[in-house]
Amino acid sequence: MILLRLFWEFFKTGLFAVGGGMATLPFLRDIGIRTGWFTQQKLADMIAVSESTPGPIGVNMATYVGFETAGVPGAVVATLGLICPSIIIILLIARVLKQFRSNQTVDAVFYGLRPCSIALIAAAGLMVAKLTFLNSDSAGAGIAGLLNWKAVLLGAVLLVLTRRIKPLKKLHPVVFIAASAVVGIVFAF
Amino acid sequence: MKLLSLFLSFARVGVLTFGGGYAMIPILEREIVDRQGWASSEELMDYYAVGQCTPGVIAVNTATFIGYKVAGNLGGVAATLGVVFPSLVIITLIAGILTNFADIPAVKSAFSAIRVCVCVLIFNAVLKLWKSAVKDRPALVIFILVLGLSMFFNISPVVFVLFCGAAGIALTRLGLRGK
């Protein structure tokens, strides 16, 4: 039964997540909240692993969530669920590729979908940020105690490194993830 | 035979793709255009462009396109299964190992810090997509509405996607695009 539900949840994700791997994130967040299969914190860890291992992020995340939920069969079923809509849709479009690319209705739909897609990613990202930068047990500690200062500092450094320093901008995310892991262990995050 | 070589070729692409997205293009060029001659660079860019604006993971969509071109429907399926196969094996192994080590303090510390990095990576991804997605005021309004509503209410992303697709058609018909 859980396998059937996994397949269905990931089928929906594959059908409605537009804009590549990261676009699956809001759907995974939604699945986590509704089913209780995994926490938001666990989801953030799964993103990290998915970014640092070979394979497309969207597929990696589906496999991971599936595995966490129902072991190896879960991993297989979630991944198949995710790719099923793609296969069906692309096989249909491949027959009429030229018309599809110049179709005005298709263009209009995606004009509305693009800002929606990044807003959903941003909202999911803010959820992860809330878990990461705010202390959960800060009752009565005031504003200074509310923020996790180590995390804020590391975030600021990473932001500057990934956006402002030219030679570092082109580096693969796995480099920053690995560096963060080392910082986390050394400074006991 | 063709199906097997499609599967194997795309399994190779899957192993070499780190992170997906644009990182995948040079790898696809080498494997599909140079090595196998299954598609031209232009065709590849076309597939990639359409794969980007259709639902699903871009790598999967591109694989289905090329597989279909080489060997029809079954080719599309074989290529797609190929591109996800390495993920299945690698992630299952890592997830299995991590579950056993998740309670070690050092691993917990590492992941606490990695989560910070993930926030920065998501933020960067949003900024990168922003330029092509939010080009005018109506698009900005959609962005703000979806962000606000999805943060404060528990609405399924499916609902937003359906509404915004319809809004895209309505805004285009009303001539509000580009304003």
Structure confidence by residue, pLDDT tens digits, A162-183 = 888 888 777 777 788 889 999 9
- Interface residue B24 vs chain A (CB under 8 A): yes
CA-based R_g, chain A, Å: 19
- Interface residue B126 vs chain A (CB under 8 A): yes
Q: Which of B50, B111, B124 lies nearest to residue A163, judging by beta carbons?
A: B124
Q: Provide the β-strand partners of residue A18.
A: B55
* Phi, psi (deg, nearest 5) at residue B55: -60, 155
The mean pLDDT of A88-93, rounded to a whole number, is 94
Q: Provide the β-strand partners of residue A55.
A: B18
Cβ burial of A29 (10 Å; 0-12, 13-18, 19+) is buried
| Complex prediction ipTM | 0.84
Can you give the residue ranges of every domain in chain B?
A: 2-101, 134-179
DSSP state of B31: I
Classified as helix, coil or strand, A178 is helix
Residue B147 has pLDDT above 80, yes or no: yes
DSSP state of A55: B
What pLDDT score was predicted for residue A137? 63
What pLDDT score was predicted for residue A1? 83
* Phi, psi (deg, nearest 5) at residue A18: -110, 130
Query: Does residue A53 contact residue B17 with C-beta atoms inside 8 Å?
Result: no
> SS3 sequence, B106-125?
HHHHHHHHHHHHHHHHHHHH
Structure confidence by residue, pLDDT tens digits, A43-66 = 988 888 888 888 888 999 999 999
Structure confidence by residue, pLDDT tens digits, A3-12 = 999 999 999 9
Enumerate residues 81 to 120 of chain B having a beta carbon within 8 A of any beta carbon in chain A. 81, 83-84, 86-88, 90-92, 94-96, 98, 106, 109-120
